[in-house]
Structure 1
């Protein structure tokens, strides 16, 4: 089996902070979806990305915060095991990010380099 990364993207259309109850509900939905992948023996790892960061360009310009000029947010990722891209893509079905109007899942193969 090969590893594939699903990258979760959305646009920052709503800056409203969720209530603790809303956050708990959203986290449960994500845990259930990831748990379904784990139950198939295809889960490798996952993490959400924070809001702190810096970006550097090829000409050395440094800006605070990820994607300072863009509205798109990369919120996190999951790494899964699958036989091929189609199987990995099928695992993205039901991903909670897709319930958002601008939610997208990008599925990419993970290249392994021996160093």
Structure 2
């Protein structure tokens, strides 16, 4: 089995504007994903707002630390799952259950995890 990181990107302003009913539906969709994936989900969390992020890069003589995400973009990383699956086709079937795939302001990036040795 291979590991895949699912990176959930979206428009924070749209997430912030969601009503309690919309959040309930959103949460139910994520629960359906977790139920379908079962033990293949190795981890995952919703992330705090991008304004709480800190980016660390190499400066000329020391670390360069900045507040927030490094790039100024409309879409930000809002959460992630780490899953185990046989192949990308299996991942694509599961990802279709995530609400971010079907919303006009968000999406899910699928990245295979490097396995060495």
Per the TM superposition, whether the score is higher than 0.5 is yes
TM-score class, shorter-chain normalisation, is 0.7 to 0.9
Q: Is the 8 A contact 2:7 2:77 kept in 1?
A: yes
Runs of 4+ in 1 over 6 A off after TM superposition: none
Residue of structure 1 in register with 2:55 after alignment = 55
Let me know the Cα RMSD of the aligned residues.
Answer: 2.4
Shift of 1:6: 1.0
In structure 2, C-alpha distance between the alignment counterparts of 1:71 and 1:35, rounded to whole Å: 30
Shift of 1:97: 0.4
Confirm whether residue 43 of structure 1 aligns to residue 41 of structure 2.
yes
The structure that is helix-richer by fraction is 2
Unaligned runs of 5+ in 2: none
Q: Is the 8 A contact 2:6 2:81 kept in 1?
A: yes
Shift of 1:13: 5.4
Shift of 1:54: 0.9
Q: Is the 8 A contact 1:10 1:103 kept in 2?
A: yes
Q: Is the 8 A contact 1:33 1:96 kept in 2?
A: no
Give TM-score scaled by structure 1 length.
0.77
